[in-house]
Amino acid sequence: MVPQQSSRVDAERESESSPKAVAQSVPLPVEGIRPDITEAKKPLPLRVLVMDDEASVARVIQRLLQRFGHEPTITVDGAECVRAYREHYEQGKRFDVVIMDLTVSNGMGGVEALAQLKEIDAEVKAVASSGYSDNPVMSHPKEHGFSGVLAKPYELAEMRAMLARVTEGS
């Protein structure tokens, strides 16, 4: 496995002919890595509100965010998302970014929830997340009040890069 922010790969193994562990470090070239995916600096820990009605997706996002040292709060629909945002905002613990699923089964989706979040905090930074690439929000997020998009399924590096872009200058 290649580490996210390293230009070296370290490996250790025991060979069958020798019980001693063998360690090897191999330098990797960093040229050609897309600058929009890698980050020059690590972002500060972020408070991230996640709204996704698929429990397995929400758990994965939660683990990834925690792995980066961020503080995720998971909600399953727009109503719960709005409640959580309001509570934190009123306590002076504003979320740095909200990742919102656009389509929620039997509940309020991202577009409607974002409208309510903007009534609470006009400066809310929200990222639309969807597996439906034909949704107009995914091609024109700013027109719908979103700061960016993450098309499902998205990769770890895409999420990190989006968080960095959305929170720049915060």
Task: Tell me, yes or no, whether 78 lies in a domain.
Answer: yes
CATH of the domain at 137: 3.40.50.2300
Q: Tell me the residue type at 60.
A: V
pTM for this structure? 0.74
- DSSP-H helix ranges across 7-127: 55-67, 78-90, 110-120
Task: Tell me, yes or no, whether 37 lies in a domain.
Answer: no
Divide the 170 residues of the chain into consecutive groups of 10 and give the mean pLDDT of each group: 42 45 43 42 81 92 93 96 98 97 92 98 96 91 95 90 86
Task: Tell me, yes or no, whether 7 lies in a domain.
Answer: no
Task: Tell me, yes or no, whether 13 lies in a domain.
Answer: no
Sign of torsion over alpha carbons 39, 42, 44, 49: positive
Number of domains in the chain: 1
pLDDT at 170: 58
pLDDT at 43: 54
Task: Tell me, yes or no, whether 1 lies in a domain.
Answer: no
d(C-alpha 37, C-alpha 9), whole Å: 19
Task: Tell me, yes or no, whether 24 lies in a domain.
Answer: no
* Residue (of 169, 168, 166, 164) closest to 39 by Cα position: 164
